[in-house]
Amino acid sequence: DQGEFVEEEEEPLDITWPDTCRRRVTYLLLLPIVLPLWLTLPDMRKPHLQRWFFITFIGSIVWIGLFSYLMVWWANEVGETIGIPAEVMGLTFLAAGTSIPDLITSVIVARKGLGDMAVSSSVGSNIFDVTVGLPFPWLLYSAINLGEPVIVNSKGMLCSIILLCLMLLIVIVSIAAFQWRMSKHLGLVMFFLYTVFVTLSLLVEYEYIPCL
């Protein structure tokens, strides 16, 4: 029964040196991220630290902000070095990188039989990004700079919005065509639609397709 699954008890983080070569490689790759988190955030999986949950909550937000800043900065530097515009880096590499947490959580809940939660999470996260993730930094910037507006590059924005609306409509129609069931064939259709969206967006960005 999909509704009856055993919730696995997660163990506290263990940073001892692994005993296999594969785990050691993974350990060294993740150490620059895991070690600062282990040093600064109380592990809620340890019963005696659960009363410090507010430190973990606030600290997690701070670390996410720091990692996001570094990710955008490094991506911009890489784009300038190899000649890729910042808009293209955001549309491709940054978009894929920021969607990995959604991918992981969606896979976890889908394997537990909670497909509705996986779909609603992916949709809700994008709505949160547009309605909170974008305007909050702009509001903060404007408040610090005495009401000065944030200048946003709006080239091709109208075409991008129209394209997003069309893609949303096509996604809904595609899901309905597969009788509202998440299947492998629907997954292939989604991959195809994403490829089409990125291709058209890049053509607009590089002005191969004229846009207002």
Total-model pTM: 0.67
pLDDT for position 9 = 57
Question: By C-alpha distance, which of 98, 97, 115 is closest to 106?
Answer: 115
> What CA–CA distance (Å, rounded) separates 52 from 115?
32
Q: Record the tokens describing residue 55, joined without a space.
A: 């430190």
> What CA–CA distance (Å, rounded) separates 172 from 177?
9
pLDDT tens digit string along 128-177?
878 888 888 889 889 999 888 888 766 667 787 888 889 889 988 998 89
Question: By C-alpha distance, which of 70, 60, 126, 118 is closest to 95?
Answer: 126
Task: Give buried/exposed letters for 166-180 (b at 16+ CB in 10 A, else e).
Answer: ebeeebeeebeeeee
Question: By C-alpha distance, which of 77, 85, 76 is closest to 205?
Answer: 85
The one-letter amino acid code at 95 reads A
CB atoms within 10 A of CB 112: 16
Question: By C-alpha distance, which of 156, 200, 190 is closest to 170?
Answer: 190
> What CA–CA distance (Å, rounded) separates 112 from 5?
7
> What CA–CA distance (Å, rounded) separates 185 from 140?
44
Q: Record the tokens describing residue 83, joined without a space.
A: 């000649």
Mean pLDDT in the chain?
A: 83
The pLDDT tens digits along the chain (212 residues) read: 444 444 555 677 888 888 889 989 999 998 998 999 999 999 988 888 889 999 999 999 899 889 888 988 998 899 889 888 887 888 888 888 777 777 888 888 888 888 778 778 777 877 887 888 888 888 988 999 988 888 876 666 778 788 888 988 998 899 889 988 878 898 899 999 988 988 888 888 777 888 76
pLDDT for position 155 = 66
The one-letter amino acid code at 123 reads V
Contact 63, 41 (CB under 8 A): yes
CB atoms within 10 A of CB 141: 12
The one-letter amino acid code at 172 reads I
Contact 1, 114 (CB under 8 A): no
pLDDT for position 25 = 93
pLDDT for position 5 = 44
Is the Cα dihedral 120, 123, 129, 135 positive or negative? negative
Biggest distance spanned by C-alpha atoms of the chain: 61
